[in-house]
Amino acid sequence: MTDRGYTVGVILTAHPHTIAHLRTLDVLPDVEAIHVAVLDGLDLATLDVPTRKVVRTYSAATASPTSHRDGAVGVADAPNESVSVRVSSSEGALAGLLSEAALLDAVIVCVRTDLCPAVLDACIDAGLPALFEKPGALDAATLHRLDSKARGAGIPLGTFLSWRAHPAVVQVRDAVRDGAIGHLLGVEGRMITSQVRFRDPSHWLFRRATAGSGILSWLGCHFLDALCFMIDDEVAEVTAFVANRNPEAIEVEDTACLALRFRGGALGTFNAGYHLVGSVPGYMG
Flag whether pLDDT at 109 surpasses 60: yes
User: What's the whole-model pTM score?
Assistant: 0.87
Under the banding of pLDDT at 50, 70 and 90, the label for residue 280 is: confident
CATH number for 6-160 (one of 3.40.50.720, 3.20.140.10, 1.10.1530.10, 3.40.50.2300): it is: 3.40.50.720
pLDDT recorded at residue 2: 67
**Domain ranges within the chain, ordered by starting residue:** 6-160, 164-276
Following CA atoms 129, 135, 136, 139 in sequence, which dihedral angle do they give, to the nearest 10 degrees? Answer: 140
The answer to whether the Cα torsion of 178, 180, 185, 188 is positive or negative is negative
pLDDT of amino acid 71: 31
pLDDT of residue 44: 78
Residue type present at position 171: Q
CATH 3.30.360.10, domain 164-276, yes or no: yes
pLDDT value at residue 79: 39
**Weakest-pLDDT range from 63-72, 142-151, 210-219, 269-278:** 63-72
Q: Angle 140-153/116-125 helices, nearest 10 degrees?
A: 10
pLDDT, mean over the chain? 89
9 phi and psi angles, rounded to 5 deg: -90, 145
pLDDT at 206 over 80: yes
